[in-house]
A and B are shown apart, each in its own frame.
Chain A
Amino acid sequence: MQLYRAHILVCGGTGCVSSGSKAIQEALTDELVKNNLDKEVKVVETGCHGFCETGPIVIVYPEGTFYCRVSTEDVPEIIAEHLVKGRIVKRLLFKAPVTEEQVPSYKEIAFYRKQQRVALRNCGHINPDNINEYIGRDGYEALSKVLTGMTPQQVIDDMKKSGLRGRGGGGFSTGLKWQFASNSPGPKKYIICNADEGDPGAFMDRSVLEGDPHSVLEGMMIAAYAIGADEGYIYVRAEYPLAIKRLKTAIAQAEELGLLGENIMGSNFSCTLHIKEGAGAFVCGEETALMASIEGSRGMPNPRPPFPAVKGLFGKPSNINNVETYANVPIIYLHGADKFASVGTEKSKGTKVFALTGKLRNTGLAEVPMGISLREIIFDIGGGIINDKKFKAVQIGGPSGGCIPEQHLDTPVDYDSLTALGAMMGSGGLVIMDETSCMVDMARYFLDFTQKESCGKCIPCREGTKRMLEILQKICGGNGVPEDITTLETLGAVIKNTALCGLGTTAPNPVLATLRYFRDEFEAHIYDKKCPAGVCTAMLEYKIVTDNCKGCGACARVCPVGAITGEKKEPHEIDTSKCIKCGSCIEKCKFNAIVKG
């Protein structure tokens, strides 16, 4: 086997690909050939490293040097300096946000230091298109252990002992789910992977599929063995073309090696897997709708019971878990259920991947042990709020979750404490908001999303979310009336109580949680006709502070509608009837002479 003295890992996750990592990969390969180093140094395309903010990411091993925001022009320098002369290219290193200190190695960056990577263990470290790299890192060893030394019931018992709970949103015990499916009689059962990740701002499943598809396949095989399934589907959203491509490669490679298909590893266990591309509806992430979609029907949820474990896909007992859940499975059998359960809190075991988005410095993916505080995630890993603004709230759990304000930031993150705060773990999307975010507007945004994605089957969700949205639009438009708050609360409660599926019953959460913690913002909109964050344009008025205005005319020149007039060197004026509140004038003014409010 050819030995290489150095590996250059280029991130091939969707984030880095869209910022140009493919071209960098090609440039690196060319440059190595030019320098006669192609026999010594290997370029490897990996999955997502999580720190998407700093992409495209290039890591050079054995030193583990972390280069960020690399461009093709930087490539000759990386090769000439780092790989020929052994000198790190300092200007491309990650700079610590506060100290401005350059951090040479991957492991020392604050973003990674507090993380504990289980589901993401291989993401960014292996080439996802090469099954051997997965096998080299103990891949398929858990499956081998399970097939040769454990009965299906022992597999389920270990899963229960591990305390793993569904990572897709509900947080149901994975072991119990497997037990139910196993208890259902019948020769034909299905194993399903829910990869229809659709929450705005969530991309953990995509990263796992792109970066380590085999961990999901192995997890599914173990589950299939445990419940007695011989066929499975991965329902992956069609908007994830790269994930689909890598999954297809992974399935083909696993089949070729006999790790998937008939008589896996020479045992009596057989299982085949299919990929089903999603139909583009958010509700298809709901398990009964997902199964309807696989069957070829419109993706609409059905009432449970019967649960999928009893009557699932094509009417057969089925087990559905999410991508991140399956990615955790092999580790439990590789290192033992007790070891897995030693991380986390009493009722929430292991680690959880969070997608950090919004107004914070380090956006990206972070996997942390359960029980860590939101403050640590946002401020230590996420690097705090951009532009030194003040933190206001974090929306957790996407459109089904709720917001959590400053005073609860020290709450340990686990399923139950988040639910108690009126939010939910959900798939793990964290949207961070600062003082310039309007909470009413945020609630309106999420309601707009759920309303558009409602399948229309049940009345509370279809008609109810529409009316809640209209009320929020009215409040944001400056036309709210005092009764609106009560209507939102009572209607929200009825929807929660009566809607058919998880999408509907959780749809009012963003509004109800916002009303719980930021009622004053609603009241300011309704009674004072003011948007404290200055977001809702209908209630904003732009004014020129005469004392500060030097009459430079910059604002008048940039105004797209000619609303600003004035003599040169004299204070200008804004005609509010013409003003469209675009904010261009504020950006242009050097003298802080324009205010909105």
Chain B
Amino acid sequence: MIKSPEDLKRLREEAKALTSIRAGQGVEIIVGMGTCGIAAGAREVMSAILDELSKREMSDVRVSQTGCIGMCEKEVLVDVVRPGETRITYGRVKPQDITRIINSHVTNGQIVEDLVVAKLD
């Protein structure tokens, strides 16, 4: 029940998550989900990403998937694109790396250097 403009505001903040994915803004995380990626555990990585984002209520982060890009031996590949910054590709990502990537890179812009395999402008 909305009893004041503040109530509406609160509900709006909660509800934004429902549709923010369709707005096409914010940070994007792309998981390589070709056959090679899936074989290397991309599904588990994907689940870990979604769990972590849910936990942190980061509804403005878009998670998408892509096919094989030819670096199969470095799978699972995870790209993080922050608006206006270099696209960073992490390789051999394990589910346990996700907390670190989200915490330092996605949230604070600190690239997790030891996992990086490529930087693209």
Chain A contacts to B: CB under 8 angstroms: 1-7, 9, 39-40, 61-64, 83-87, 125-126, 130, 132-133, 135-141, 144, 147-148, 256-259, 265-266
Contact = CB atoms under 8 A, between A and B. Distances in A.
Given A86-B33, A86-B65, 6 more contacts: A5-B50, A132-B15, A136-B19, A141-B8, A257-B2, A265-B5
A144 B5 contact: yes
Given A63-B64, A135-B12, A85 B54 contact: no
Contacts of B46: 5, 40
12 contacts: A3-B53, A5-B50, A5-B63, A7-B21, A40-B50, A62-B21, A86-B64, A125-B19, A136-B19, A144-B5, A258-B1, A266-B7
Nearest to B49: A5
Most buried by A among B18, B28, B58, B66: B18
Given A133-B15, A133-B18, A62 B24 contact: yes
Contacts of B47: 40
A147 B67 CA distance: 51
Contacts of A148: 5
B119 interface: no
A132 B8 CA distance: 10
A266 B1 CA distance: 10
Nearest to B47: A40
A388 B58 CA distance: 50
A63 B24 CA distance: 8
Interface in B41-68: 46-47, 49-50, 53-54, 57-59, 62-67
Contacts of B49: 5
B120 to A, nearest CB: 17
B17 A1 contact: yes
B24 A137 contact: no
Contacts of B50: 3, 5, 39-40
Contacts, number: 115
B8 A125 contact: no
Interface residues of B, number: 42
Nearest to A143: B8
B14 interface: yes
A132 B53 CA distance: 21
Nearest to A82: B65
Contact of A85 (B24, B33, B63): B33
Contact of B22 (A2, A7, A86): A7
Nearest to B52: A3
Pick the most buried of B1, B15, B53, B57: most chain A CB atoms within 10 A of its CB.
B15
Given A3-B50, A9-B22, A61-B22, A266 B3 contact: yes
B2 A62 contact: no
B28 to A, nearest CB: 7
B63 A62 contact: yes
Contacts of B5: 144, 147-148, 265
A136 B12 contact: yes
Q: Pick the most buried of B5, B30, B50, B59: most chain A CB atoms within 10 A of its CB.
A: B5
A148 to B, nearest CB: 5
Interface of B: 1-5, 7-8, 11-12, 14-22, 24, 28, 30-35, 38, 46-47, 49-50, 53-54, 57-59, 62-67
B47 to A, nearest CB: 8
Given A85-B34, A85-B65, A136-B19, A144 B14 contact: no
Given A130-B18, A148-B5, A3 B65 contact: no
Given A62-B64, A86-B66, A141-B12, A1 B59 contact: yes
A67 to B, nearest CB: 15
A62 B15 contact: no
A136 B16 contact: yes
A406 B21 CA distance: 43
B58 to A, nearest CB: 8
B24 A3 contact: no
Contacts of A266: 2-4, 7
Contacts of A87: 66-67
Contact of B8 (A9, A126, A265): A265
Contacts of A3: 17, 50, 53-54, 58-59
Contacts of A125: 19, 22
A148 B8 CA distance: 12
Contacts of A265: 2-5, 7-8
Contacts of B35: 85
B63 to A, nearest CB: 4
A132 B18 contact: yes
Nearest to B13: A136
Nearest to A132: B15
B18 A83 contact: no
Contacts of B33: 84-86
Contacts of A4: 21
Contacts of A9: 22
Most interface-central of A4, A64, A256 (chain B CB within 10 A): A4
Nearest to A139: B12
